[in-house]
């Protein structure tokens, strides 16, 4: 591993523009790290070496001509649920093994237009069903901080690729915490934007009313730079509104004095690891000491969130996966994994005659109550801070035969997907050698505020500067 592997997007761009190194040299540093570490961590399903080298050479040509694009020459990994023209896209499932899309997802197209170099496609729980990275048909992803433990999921490979210095940044999807949880478990920054802020077009659908398209970076400033590229209306996705996209980097250093931060009592529950609780409370104390107004709040319907999520999500999964019949493209349905089958059956049951009103329709009513909880909370506070996970990472295989226990790991994250609010997970230190993260949740389309709060904390503590391989 070279010094190039420690670079943030901002630092890498500065080095490229000053010609301290070339885009090809930068790329090779990351390809070499993939060669060293991927067999151990299983973060990548596909490495796009030849394509990436061509893109890096093109980036060097543009740099020599004086061009400056937002991500020019920056090696980016893509969760293997993003359609990539001419490159295998599997969604982590044998059903799509060998499938080569004829088009790029909107986010992929925007990244390429911004000059990014696509280094590879990362591992994930098949169809993004999972919280651990163990449900991939291509084998589990391992946590670089301790390879006996999970890195969180479903965007496991993307989080690990950034944490283990194999990519500068990576894309992910967050349907119930699938960016925020692995970010917390791997000492990376993970953004789940407002629902519709980033286009879902060309990304294999899991649960369409819950899917949010975000990313992993090394620090908060990089996350803001990345969202500058990916956010915005897309005519190909009717859920993307025409809300203005600001420059998310402009207010990073704004004074946070006077910002009202809510601490929901329902997110500090019995059974939460006391060391994790202490870690998050220390982070909250930072904001209080820096002039923020800390207020205890209540989100009274939180206890119903996990049950509501696991009715709505499987119902939408069963609908979305019905298209994979092995006739038009993909392989036969018998190649679905166990977790996919479980969710298809649960969803089909809740949508069936006689059960629709009792389960699905009732869940939609509770969803409305959860949305109202947040609406009322944001009349009193500007942002909410909460843990990402009640526990530290668990051992690989520890929860494999206990799906309910696995589902409960999302207890603090699913609500933001149900309500559509943005959430930013940032590192807050280490407990027993494992990274811990907090999430900052804000009103719809207020990602600027999350970046401001996250950046100010990060500049004081700089946890992002630690990586699993430092001596």
The set of catalytic residues is 79, 154, 178
Residues in the chain: 471
* Number of Cα atoms under 13 Å in the Cβ half of residue 317: 26
Taking the C-alpha atoms of residue 430 and residue 187, their distance in angstroms, rounded to an integer, is 9
| Number of CB atoms found within 10 A of residue 237's CB | 16
| Residue 314, token pair as written in the block | 């499987």
Instruction: State how far the Cα of 340 lies from the Cα of 164, in Å rounded to an integer.
Output: 28
Nearest residue to 416 via CA among 177, 154, 251: 177
Asked whether the beta carbons of 119 and 50 are under 8 A apart, the reply is: no
Cα 150 to the chain's mean position, in Å? 15
Q: For tokens 């925007």, what's the residue?
A: 110
Cβ(385)–Cβ(297) under 8 Å? no
Q: Where are the alpha helices (DSSP H) in 114-219?
A: 156-163, 180-186
CB 161 within 8 A of CB 44: yes
CA-wise closest residue to 129 among 333, 367, 360, 407 = 407
Contact 443, 197 (CB under 8 A): no
Handedness of CA 405, 407, 409, 411 (dihedral sign): negative
Backbone angles phi, psi at 205, to 5 degrees: -75, 140
- CA 450 to chain centroid: 15
What Rg, from alpha-carbon coordinates, does the chain have? 21
């Amino acid at each position: 591993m070279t010094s190039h592997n420690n670079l943030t997007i901002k630092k890498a761009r500065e080095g490229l523009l000053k010609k301290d190194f070339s885009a090809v040299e930068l790329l090779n540093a990351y390809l070499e790290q993939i060669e060293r570490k991927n067999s151990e961590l299983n973060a990548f399903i596909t490495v796009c070496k030849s394509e990436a080298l061509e893109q890096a050479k093109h980036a060097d040509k543009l740099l020599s001509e004086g061009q400056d694009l937002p991500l020019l020459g920056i090696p980016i990994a893509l969760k293997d649920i993003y359609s990539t023209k001419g490159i295998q896209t599997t969604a982590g499932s044998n059903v799509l093994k060998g499938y080569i899309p004829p088009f790029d997802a909107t986010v992929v197209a925007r990244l390429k237009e911004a000059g990014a170099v696509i280094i590879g496609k990362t591992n994930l729980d098949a169809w993004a069903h999972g919280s651990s990275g163990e449900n991939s048909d291509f084998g589990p992803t391992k946590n670089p901080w301790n390879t006996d433990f999970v890195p969180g999921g479903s965007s496991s490979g993307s989080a690990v690729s950034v944490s283990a210095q194999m990519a500068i940044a990576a894309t992910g999807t967050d349907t119930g915490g699938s960016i925020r949880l692995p970010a917390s478990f791997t000492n990376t920054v993970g953004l789940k934007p407002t629902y519709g802020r980033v286009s879902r077009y060309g990304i294999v659908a899991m649960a369409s009313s819950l899917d949010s398209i975000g990313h992993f970076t090394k620090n908060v400033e990089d996350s803001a730079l990345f969202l500058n590229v990916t956010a915005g209306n897309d005519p190909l996705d009717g859920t993307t509104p025409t809300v203005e996209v600001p420059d998310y980097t402009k207010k990073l250093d704004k004074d946070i004095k006077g910002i009202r931060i809510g601490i929901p009592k329902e997110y500090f529950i019995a059974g939460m690891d006391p060391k994790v609780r202490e870690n998050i409370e220390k982070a909250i104390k930072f904001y209080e000491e820096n002039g923020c107004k800390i207020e205890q709040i209540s989100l009274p319907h939180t206890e119903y969130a996990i049950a509501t999520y696991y009715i709505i999500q499987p119902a939408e999964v069963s609908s979305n996966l019905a298209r994979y019949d092995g006739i038009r493209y993909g392989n036969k349905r018998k190649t679905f994994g166990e977790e996919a089958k479980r969710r298809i059956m649960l969803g089909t049951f809740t949508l069936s005659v006689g059960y629709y009103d009792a389960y699905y329709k009732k869940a939609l009513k509770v969803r409305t109550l959860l949305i109202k909880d947040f609406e009322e909370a944001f009349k009193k506070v500007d942002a909410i801070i909460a843990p990402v996970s009640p526990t530290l990472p668990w051992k690989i295989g520890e929860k494999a035969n206990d799906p309910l226990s696995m589902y409960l790991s999302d207890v603090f994250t699913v609500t933001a997907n149900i309500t559509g609010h943005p959430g930013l997970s940032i590192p807050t230190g280490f407990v027993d050698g494992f990274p811990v993260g907090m999430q900052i949740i804000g009103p719809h389309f207020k990602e600027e505020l999350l970046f401001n709060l996250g950046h100010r904390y990060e500049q004081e503590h700089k946890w992002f500067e630690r990586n699993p391989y430092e001596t």
